A and B are shown apart, each in its own frame.
Chain A
Amino acid sequence: MESIKDRYAIVGIGQSPVTLRSGRSELSLALEAVTAAIEDAGLHTKDIDGIMGDHPIRVDAMAIAGALGLRRVGFFIEPEFAGGGVPGGIMHALAGIAAGRAEHVVCYKSLNGASKVTVPGMAFDLAPHENGFTRPFGLLDPAAYAGLAARRHMHEYGTTSRHFGAIAVTCRRHANRNSHAIMHDRPLTLEDHQQSELLADPLRILDRCVDVDGAAACIVTTAERARDLRQRPVYIMAAGQALSPCLARGTKDPTLPENETSLLSRQLFSMAGLTPSDIDVLQICDDFTCYVLMALEDLGFCRKGEGGGFVEGGHLDWPDGKIPLNTSGGNLSEGNLEGFNHIVEGVRQLRGAAQAQVGGAETVLVCGATGTATSGLILRR
């Protein structure tokens, strides 16, 4: 199999505003992001011949094709995983192009995550039988899984709630550079984090993402085609998905040397021919602070068990840190678009167009939510 490295590019991005009450349909939000991405790429709507859609319970590919009057769609996919799956969806879009089924694939996610509660418990309702081993015991929300994994990590490695809080504070600081972030102009200190309500002990409310209404989109095409379009292309050096059987109806065991995220890391870095020290900006889907800390270990940015000390060291802070994290605020503070916001911000960084711009950024690692089936991308300019 030929490597996909550098053969495809992201050529357009678009986003709707993020709000707590859009008063609009998810289709309307999706169309705002999608048409903005098409315009940004310098394409015409009729050029779109592939769709990487949202979760099928929200805005499916048929809704977008119908609303835009697309007549040439030869490829579409609607991945079911939420926060873990967005970078993997981009990988599927590349597969559709590689198979000769499409040339310009629009990818999007749209959710009224604040005003219409479809996310918490959603995945739990889709597999009701297995859930007999969790739901009757009150394990009804991803926060409970995250709390169990966080507690075990603390026990094994001496990680503390303040370490988790450091990630929340970093993301909030970056959101305060992003005028579109839902938590813009709302500074957060570590003490604020420590005083916030408990959610799933040891996790606090501020360890969880902020649900919002909003949509984001991007356009992918071949590297060759990308060179003719309006924007400087952002090349995809590596794309992958990974899952781990240990996640089936159990908690992520943060002590295992091998898991979905370490597998993803090996795949991505080997495909790109890079190592973690080559990455300039990190975009890790941050549904919960604790999973970001564990992902930093599993992706190889620090050693297993050393995530706590690492996040305290300022490495993740814009502008002076070695590898700034979630520079638009992430799900924790920009607003939870299930990790699609991380891709859009990664592209902005590589165009030199971010509000918290990392000087000379050449590479970005995008990682989907971990603690579930995950996926990732390495992008370059």
Chain B
Amino acid sequence: MAYLEGLPPPEPHSDYNPFWEGCRRHELLIQRCRDCGWYRHYPRPLCPKCHSWKEQWARVSGKGSVWSWTVIAYPLHPAVADKVPYNIVEVELIEQAGLRLISNLIDCRNEDIFIGMPVEVTFEAMSEGITLPRFRRAV
């Protein structure tokens, strides 16, 4: 069973669909400015650095490291009442300093997570027909 099965899936949105379509193909696509080359996540219509509207969805390596992590131990939200404890990681991708995304670390005990842990992306199909990018400890 996938990690955190049953949480609300991402909803279709014209600014974000290429990201989720990439995940379905097991490709991590990050929006990148065609003019200045700056990566941005979450996706937005123009570059926050140079304000260019020209964009591409660049396939990135999926490699990075844990920038921070937490273990949710107490179910403050009803949707996770039967899922605690679970981890949330913020991963910084190697492509650009500060390029980070929220995800989970799978196949790893919560007590083994540390900041700086090298990780790589993996993809998990969820029951709603959505595929999510998750991370594993890199070897």
Contact = CB atoms under 8 A, between A and B. Distances in A.
Given A121-B77, A144-B88, A128 B132 contact: no
Interface string B4-24: 100111110101100010000
A152 B91 CA distance: 12
B72 interface: yes
Interface stretch (A64-72, A92-100, A103-111, A129-137): A129-137
Contacts of A257: none
Contact of B90 (A129, A200, A251): A251
Highest count of chain A CB atoms <10 Å: which of B7, B16, B71, B72: B72
Interface in B74-95: 74, 76-77, 79-80, 83, 86, 88, 90
Contacts of A151: 68-70, 115
A200 B11 contact: no
B32 interface: no
B68 A137 contact: no
A375 to B, nearest CB: 23
A132 B16 contact: yes
A250 interface: yes
A134 B88 CA distance: 10
B42 A249 contact: yes
A139 interface: yes
B115 A152 contact: yes
Given A137-B104, A138-B7, A152-B115, A198 B74 contact: yes
A130 B43 CA distance: 9
Interface residues of B, number: 39
B10 A136 contact: yes
Nearest to A199: B74
B46 interface: no
A138 B90 contact: no
Interface in A209-230: none
Interface in A242-261: 245, 248-251, 253
B108 interface: no
Contacts of A137: 4, 7, 88, 102-104, 132
A268 B52 CA distance: 34
A222 B109 CA distance: 60
B83 A120 contact: no
Interface SS of A by simple majority: mixed
Contacts of B13: 129, 132
Interface in A190-208: 197-203, 205
A199 B7 contact: no
A148 B113 CA distance: 13
Given A132-B9, A132-B13, A140-B80, A201 B102 contact: no
Nearest to B4: A138
B74 A197 contact: yes
Interface residues of A, number: 38
Contacts of B57: none
Nearest to B126: A136
B133 to A, nearest CB: 9
Given A129-B13, A136-B10, A149-B68, A141 B77 contact: yes
Nearest to A141: B76
Nearest to A129: B13
Highest count of chain B CB atoms <10 Å: which of A129, A132, A141: A132
A143 interface: yes
A147 interface: yes
B100 A250 contact: yes
Contacts of B67: 152
A12 B90 CA distance: 45
A245 B98 CA distance: 13
B100 A138 contact: no
B79 A140 contact: yes
Contacts of B125: none
A44 interface: no
B137 to A, nearest CB: 17
Given A144-B70, A197-B73, A129 B80 contact: no
Contacts of B68: 148-149, 151-152, 155, 251
Interface of A: 120-121, 128-141, 143-144, 147-149, 151-152, 155, 197-203, 205, 245, 248-251, 253
Interface of B: 4, 7-11, 13, 15-16, 20, 41-42, 48, 67-74, 76-77, 79-80, 83, 86, 88, 90, 98, 100-104, 115, 126, 130, 132
13 contacts: A132-B10, A136-B132, A138-B7, A139-B88, A139-B102, A140-B80, A141-B76, A144-B88, A147-B88, A151-B68, A152-B67, A199-B73, A249-B102
